Amino acid sequence: APVAAAPVAAAPAAPAAPAPAAAPGNLAASGPAARKLADEKGVDASALVGTGKDGRVTKGDVLAAPAAPAAKPAAPAPAPAPKMVWAAGTQGDRPRAAQEERVRMTRLRQRIAERLKEAQNSAAMLTTFNEVDMSAAMALRAEYKDYFEKRHKVRLGFMSFFVKAAVQALKEIPAVNAEIDGTDIVYKNYYDIGVAVGTPQGLVVPVVRDADKLDFAGVEGTIAALGKKGRDGKLSMDELTGGTFTISNGGVYGSLMSTPIINPPQSAILGMHKTMDRAVVINGKIEVRPMMYLALSYDHRIIDGKEAVTFLVRIKELIEDPRRLLLDV
């Protein structure tokens, strides 16, 4: 029988040639609109296949291209280490707390702090200065102090001279004895003079009521009584409030000059200081006189500079010739 021929395997097909890589577009010849759009999208236009004439990349080629992946945001900079702040009333991590003593403020000290800060925050505060020759006042006091004390049972000090001088000057310059209430100025036709007194608990300012109606003995007696009550911690609120003007004497502690802080709602405060012998020119000659610097702090919202200076000069004139205090001139 005939034998069938063995099948012949077909020759394997030759592998297909790889498609030619698309030529990059002609970016140089592309229009400015296509290049600008490519920059905005973050597309590398030089890698695009241009479909325009001569292989130019068109705006359509750029729009069809996938946008470049967004860059990862930069890692945030580490936050700076917080500064150490110690809360009021707590020790926190104070490095030398073991060597410190913490004492709670008394109610009086807290109130003093509040009032002083209130004055600085609310008033347009300014200070003017002058100096006074204490020769005549010292001579008058030296001549009559023993008789005065024997007669009135109270010592004659210099504070009564300044209280009486302040009352007379306040009558002449009423703005210094006034206060601001909202949009009004309240002029006071009474003279309640606060006298700053140092106590173991802090500075207090008891008020000498109706000082214009008191003589020297009445002023000195009232100040002595209020001072004792202050040192004993027995002053009432009524005795500490309602003053129209204040006098502070830093000279008892040795202060030569200061800028006292107004006692709100008052508009001014007079600062006395230490009396010291200094060389001054009197009638063309150099003489040594007991001199004291005076300071007037005032609220510039209500008191003009001219008024403040005039007031302080009037104080100076009255102290340098204390007979005027007796004659009201």
DSSP 315-326: HHHHHHSTHHHH
At which residue do the structure tokens 């241009």 appear?
50
- pLDDT for res 37: 72
Question: SS3 of 176, please?
Answer: helix
Tokens linked to 197: 């007194």
The boundaries of every CATH 4.10.320.10 domain in the chain are 32-64
User: In angstroms, rounded to a whole number, what is the distance separating the alpha carbons of residues 228 and 83?
Assistant: 47
Task: Please tell me the predicted confidence (pLDDT) of residue 309.
Answer: 98
- Which residues of the chain form CATH 3.30.559.10? 108-327
Structure tokens at 108: 């009086």
Distances (CA, A) of 229 to 158, 216, 240: 20, 20, 11
Show the tokens assigned to 236: 């009432």
Total-model pTM:
0.69
Our CA dihedral for 38, 40, 42, 46, rounded to 10 degrees, sits at: 20
Nearest to residue 307, comparing CAs of 170, 133, 202, 138?
A: 170
For the chain, helix (H) and strand (E) counts, in that order, are 9, 11
* CA atoms of 231 and 197, how far apart (whole Å): 9
The secondary element (H helix, E strand) that includes residue 289 is strand 285-299
Position 97 scores a pLDDT of: 84
Q: Give the pLDDT score at 131.
A: 98
Architecture of the domain made up of 32-64: Irregular (4.10)
List all residues 6 or more positions away from 205 whose beta carbon is below 8 Å from its beta carbon: 194, 195, 196, 197, 240, 243, 246, 263
Q: How far from each other are the two terminal CA atoms of the chain, in whole angstroms?
A: 168
Residues serving a catalytic function are 300, 304
Q: Which residues pair with 131 in a beta bridge?
A: 293
The reported pLDDT for the residue numbered 3 is 46
pLDDT given for residue 212 in this prediction: 96
Q: Looking at residue 158, what DSSP letter applies?
A: S
Instruction: Return the CATH number of 108-327, one of 3.30.559.10, 2.40.50.1070, 3.40.50.261, 3.40.190.10.
Output: 3.30.559.10
d(CA 156, CA 224): 10
Q: Rounded distance, CA 163 to CA 153, Å?
A: 19
Per-position pLDDT tens, the chain of length 329:
444 444 444 444 545 545 444 455 555 556 677 777 777 777 776 766 777 776 777 777 767 777 655 555 666 666 665 555 555 545 557 788 888 999 998 887 888 788 888 888 888 999 999 999 999 999 999 999 999 999 999 999 999 999 999 999 999 999 999 999 999 999 999 999 999 888 877 788 999 999 999 999 999 999 999 999 988 889 898 999 999 999 999 998 999 999 999 999 999 999 999 999 999 999 999 999 999 999 999 999 999 999 999 999 999 999 999 999 888 77
